[in-house]
Amino acid sequence: MIWKTLMTILFCLLPIRAYAEDTASAYDFTFVSIYGEEMPISQYDGKVLLVVNTASRCGFTHQYDDLQQLWETYEPQGLIVIGVPSNDFGSQEPGSEQEIKKFCEANFGINFPMTEKTVVIGRDAHPFYRWISAEKGGPRWNFHKYLIGRDGQPVEAFPSSVEPLSETLTSAIEGLL
C-alpha cells in the first residue's frame, strides 16, 4: 500500500519536474495579451521582469497604483511589469478582458503589459505558472510577484503582502537593473 502511494506521488510529480528541466527560461513562454494577441515573453529578452497575478476585486487591488509607479520609474532602465489577471483566488477577477482593461485604465492608469485572464494554479495553470511554480513555489493569492533576471531565470518570489514599492522589492529590482 505504501509503495503504491509513493509511486503515485512520484508519477504525479514527474511531469512538473520534466517540464521545469525542459524549459531554459521565462522567454520560452507565450501568453495571450489582454487585447487578444500573442504575447511572447521572448520580446522582453534581456529585460528584468516582474510578473504579477492580479485581480480587480481583491483587498490587494490597490497595488495596481504601485505597480504602475514601478513601471514608470524603472521601465527606462529595463524593467517590464506584466500583469496576469486571474480568477483563481476567491473568484475576485470575474470580468471579461474588456472589463478588466477598462477597470485598470480608468482606476489606476495602467499601461504596462497585461495578459488575458489566465489560470495560475492547479493542473490547468498556464505553462509559465507551472514552470515558475516548480522553480519558486506557486502563488497563494492575488498579487503574488515573480522577479525574473535579464537571463530569463527566476530570481525571487514575493507574496501578496510585499507591496510593490517596498524596500524589499525595489532593492531586488535595482540589484538586477
Q: What is the pLDDT of residues 62-77, one digit of tens each?
A: 999 999 999 999 999 9
H or E element that contains 16: helix 2-22
pLDDT at 24: 84
Number of domains composing the chain: 1
Q: What is the pLDDT of residues 141-150, one digit of tens each?
A: 999 999 999 9
Asked whether residue 20 is domain-assigned, the answer is no
Asked whether residue 11 is domain-assigned, the answer is no
Domain containing 56 equals: 25-176
Neighbours of 66 (CB within 10 A): 17
Q: Is 12 a catalytic residue?
A: no
Asked whether residue 1 is domain-assigned, the answer is no
Asked whether residue 6 is domain-assigned, the answer is no
Asked whether residue 15 is domain-assigned, the answer is no
* Closest to 30 in 3D by CA, of 42, 16, 18: 42
Q: Is pLDDT of 168 > 50?
A: yes
26, 49, 55, 58: the catalytic one is: 58
Asked whether residue 125 is domain-assigned, the answer is yes
Neighbours of 26 (CB within 10 A): 24
Backbone angles phi, psi at 105, to 5 degrees: -70, -45
Confidence of residue 23 (pLDDT cuts 50, 70, 90): low
CATH code of the domain containing 38: 3.40.30.10
Asked whether residue 126 is domain-assigned, the answer is yes
